[in-house]
Structure 1
Amino acid sequence: MTVDTSSAGDAGVRAEAGELAVAAAVAAGEAVLTRRFGSAITLVSPEHLSGSGPATVVRARVVSSSFALPRTLVVKHYPDPPEAGRPDPFAQEAVSYQLFTALAPDERMCPELLAHDGGHRVLVIEDLGRAPTLQDKLTARDSRAAERALLSWARSLGRLHASTASREADFNALLRRLGGPVRTDNDGLAGLADDVEELLSELLDVPVPEAVRERVAEAIAQARSAAFRAFSPVELSPENNLVTGSGVRFLDFERGRVRTALVDASCLRLPFVSDPRAMALPAGMSEAMIAAWRAEIVDVWPSFADDVELAKQLTISEMLQVWQITRDLLPHLDLTRHATPVSREAALVTWWRELARHAGYSRLTEVAEHSTRVAAALAARLGPHADLAFYPAFR
């Protein structure tokens, strides 16, 4: 008899690789802290924090020193160099934290940056502790707590936009200093209308009227416009937000950049659209979140005090989001089987239905009618249960 030890061997290799990665992160953190404060600083009791990005993230305790450092810190180490010609996640994150650390504490919607080093590709940031994430709140069974967390998230997003509305030049200058290429709003928009029109025609037999293409062109122009630009974390998944006693705090800036704030605001209507586990929110929740966001930014952008103007701008941005996610998702969906309520198929149907509803409210008739046809074509293929389920907190 032979015993298959390959799985155990693979697990051992992974564990050893993880230990080496943690050790490298701790060493890089100690090096940058020592250089920052001019005296040796030792980190002990490292705890590997899970994450989906390229960084090794470690919480570690600071051995007693003469410096006013917190008792624990978080180290983010990017051991691999960036791909040639691609945005550098280390540079994006380091510059994002630099931007916020320069602000007053009450305007800082993230942990404080304590030290960073481009040579070691490491950041040392404030440890916000073991607070629950927004994902934790949405998957628990307390609807009131989930509502409070969502409204806090929307307010924090508004404060983040308001405090960085005039900081694009600063952000880009810092990014160039670290050697990272400045990302533009052309990323992902080239050929969007043609790509989606072809997909809708071939897979759903739904044509795109010229009037709708004109609205898509308007949405792309809005995304590239100099108006309403502010910093965005870009990655708005609920697991990247900590629910603290001082409000929601953003954690992941590996894709951080300056872009129109309307892209983020449209995610209040399409909650966490880029998250593969995105689910639905109950009626009225998105509207309450938008109101919370608007209260924070209306002094910076007074035109958003006008309900009609804000609704139209949000709908145009929402349309762009739906078209982009359709280009990404539709070719990979199985349109031959009935969708389950927790699936990307059900999500896509729901988002097209929501776009149709909001376009109708904003009197964008051609968009509403076309979105209704797309949603109906998807539902005809995916079955009667192609409605996205609520997050567990709201079931």
Structure 2
Amino acid sequence: MTTTSTDPTPDFVAETLAVASDRIGSQLAVVGEPFPGSRRTLVVRARTSDGSTVVVKRYLGDEGAEAYAREASALAALAGFGRTPSLVAECGDPRLVVMDDLGEGQHLADVLLGADEDRAAATLAGWATAVAGLHRAGRQVRDAFEAGVLARSAGPVELDGLPGLLEAAATDWGRLATALDVPVADGAFDVLTTVPGRLRVDASSLSAADMCPDNNLVSDSGLALLDFEFALWRPVVWDAAYLRVPWPTCWCAWSLEAAAADVALGRWREEVGKSWPAVLGPDFDHDLDLATEAWAWLAGSWCLAPLVDGEPRRTNPLKPMPRMPDRVLGLLRTAAAGRALPELADTAAQLARAVEVTYAATDVPLAPAFAGGVLR
């Protein structure tokens, strides 16, 4: 049966709950409507026979196979962490997991799109603290995570896909530069492929990978991290740099108020430094610059390609995004700083000017919470 999380049929939901009920040994009844999701998953809240609730997540299509392997393995490896849902049960055919229900609440993206600057700054710092906790707990689970992914997958799965993404971006930027009439030498972007090997601090851990402002739940007890469909093992600096770019893989990519972002990053470094003291030193400053500029080139290629290729932009009123040309301009200006990749600084500046002229790009506005509650 084929379906998507945007149009689940009652029969499909019933089938999913029947499998989940069998796995946990309790009859489940759906509560409310399925959660808004993606084409990869169906997510529903369900009530057990004793009145408690759980969340059932079913993975759909070919993409769902890897998503299931990564998320189930990550949640199993992080058992007892306390800032992620607990894995109650799972099934490999059909692919689904049953998790404990963390309840209702907002996520960081909701807060950033609100009007309370103080709450936004505090929640941003809470996000950084939660991510730091994940990194400290996750540093010890590589073997369990890797074994879990292999056991749940039909074939080999890369634990860290960033090197491959950087290789793809190095190739694509040549094409994009040509489209913008910016001359570059052959192989000019190959330096991007060297980034993983240039990191100085050896600090890697389990990451949710898609560390976006909407992949969490904010409650009185703190901030919990959700959605480990892309979980992988990689250097922690890539997640920390989300506060500097910001949000390179996310829709809610509004600019952050600089002081609030600095406080959040400082909170993350202070906590992570308890496990990796080098994170507090100058070598990590270097790594942070390197990851920030590499993210700018990666996300810049992802955002510019649809503009160059004339692909229509899909909008979602529930997920207001900055204008794509503005995002590309901001990312290229970040890359033009060139503190870590000076070889590409001048090229980034030329590309930024071309994007500014070609697409009437301007600065990405501050997140509404830092701009008086106004969505520009």
Using structure 1 for the length normalisation, give the TM-score: 0.81
The residue number in structure 2 matching 1:295 is 270
Runs (5+) with no aligned partner, structure 2:
311-320, 372-376
Q: Does the CA-based 8 Å contact 1:154-1:290 persist in structure 2? A: yes
Runs (5+) with no aligned partner, structure 1:
1-13, 35-40, 65-69
User: In the alignment, is residue 148 of structure 1 matched against residue 127 of structure 2?
Assistant: no
Tell me, what secondary structure is at the counterpart of 2:228?
A: coil
The residue number in structure 2 matching 1:257 is 232
Query: What is the one-letter code of the residue matched to 2:37?
Result: G
Tell me, what secondary structure is at the counterpart of 1:265?
A: helix
Distance 1:213 1:262 in 2: 21
Tell me, what secondary structure is at the counterpart of 1:57?
A: strand
Q: Does the CA-based 8 Å contact 2:167-2:192 persist in structure 1? A: no
Cα 1:299–1:15 shift into 2, 3 Å:
closer
Q: Does the CA-based 8 Å contact 1:189-1:220 persist in structure 2? A: no
Q: Does the CA-based 8 Å contact 2:55-2:101 persist in structure 1? A: yes
Cα 1:335–1:280 shift into 2, 3 Å:
farther
Question: Of residues 311, 328, 332 in structure 1, which corresponds to 2:302?
Answer: 328
Query: What is the one-letter code of the residue matched to 2:328?
Result: L
Distance 2:6 2:152 in 1: 32
Tell me, what secondary structure is at the counterpart of 2:38?
A: coil
Question: Of residues 15, 20, 26 in structure 1, which corresponds to 2:11?
Answer: 20
Query: What is the one-letter code of the residue matched to 1:346?
Result: D
Give 1:121-132 correspondences, 5 Å limit: 121-132=95-106
Q: How many residues align?
A: 354
The residue number in structure 2 matching 1:388 is 364
The residue number in structure 1 matching 2:38 is 52
User: In the alignment, is residue 159 of structure 1 matched against residue 133 of structure 2?
Assistant: yes
Please say which structure displays the higher CA radius of gyration.
Answer: 1
Q: Does the CA-based 8 Å contact 1:276-1:344 persist in structure 2? A: no
Q: Does the CA-based 8 Å contact 2:132-2:272 persist in structure 1? A: yes
Query: What is the one-letter code of the residue matched to 1:171?
Result: F
Distance 1:256 1:54 in 2: 15
Cα 1:311–1:375 shift into 2, 3 Å:
farther
User: In the alignment, is residue 72 of structure 1 matched against residue 53 of structure 2?
Assistant: yes
Question: Which whole-Å deviations, capped at 9, do the CAs of 1:130-174 have from their partners, x for residues lacking one?
Answer: 111111111111111111111100111111111111322221111
Cα 1:151–1:28 shift into 2, 3 Å:
same
Q: Does the CA-based 8 Å contact 1:26-1:46 persist in structure 2? A: no
Question: Of residues 190, 194, 197 in structure 2, which corresponds to 1:218?
Answer: 194
Task: Give the CA deviation at 1:392.
Answer: 1.3
Cα 1:334–1:158 shift into 2, 3 Å:
same
Give 1:110-189 correspondences, 5 Å limit: 110-179=84-153, 181-183=156-158, 184-185=160-161, 186-189=163-166
The residue number in structure 1 matching 2:279 is 304
Query: What is the one-letter code of the residue matched to 1:330?
Result: L
Question: Which whole-Å deviations, capped at 9, do the CAs of 1:188-217 have from their partners, x for residues lacking one?
Answer: 23343233134224424143698x757524
Q: Does the CA-based 8 Å contact 1:110-1:250 persist in structure 2? A: yes
Tell me, what secondary structure is at the counterpart of 1:333?
A: helix
Identity of aligned residues (%): 25
Dislocated runs of 4+, deviation >6 Å:
none
Tell me, what secondary structure is at the counterpart of 2:149?
A: helix
Distance 1:372 1:240 in 2: 33
Cα 1:197–1:269 shift into 2, 3 Å:
same
Give 1:309-388 correspondences, 5 Å limit: 309-333=283-307, 342-357=322-337, 359-360=338-339, 365-383=342-360, 386-388=362-364
User: In the alignment, is residue 203 of structure 1 matched against residue 180 of structure 2?
Assistant: yes
Tell me, what secondary structure is at the counterpart of 1:135?
A: helix
The residue number in structure 2 matching 1:32 is 23
Distance 1:367 1:112 in 2: 44
Distance 2:353 2:185 in 1: 14
Task: Give the CA deviation at 1:94.
Answer: 0.7
Tell me, what secondary structure is at the counterpart of 1:255?
A: coil
Cα 1:159–1:135 shift into 2, 3 Å:
same
Root-mean-square deviation over aligned CA pairs? 2.9
Tell me, what secondary structure is at the counterpart of 2:336?
A: helix
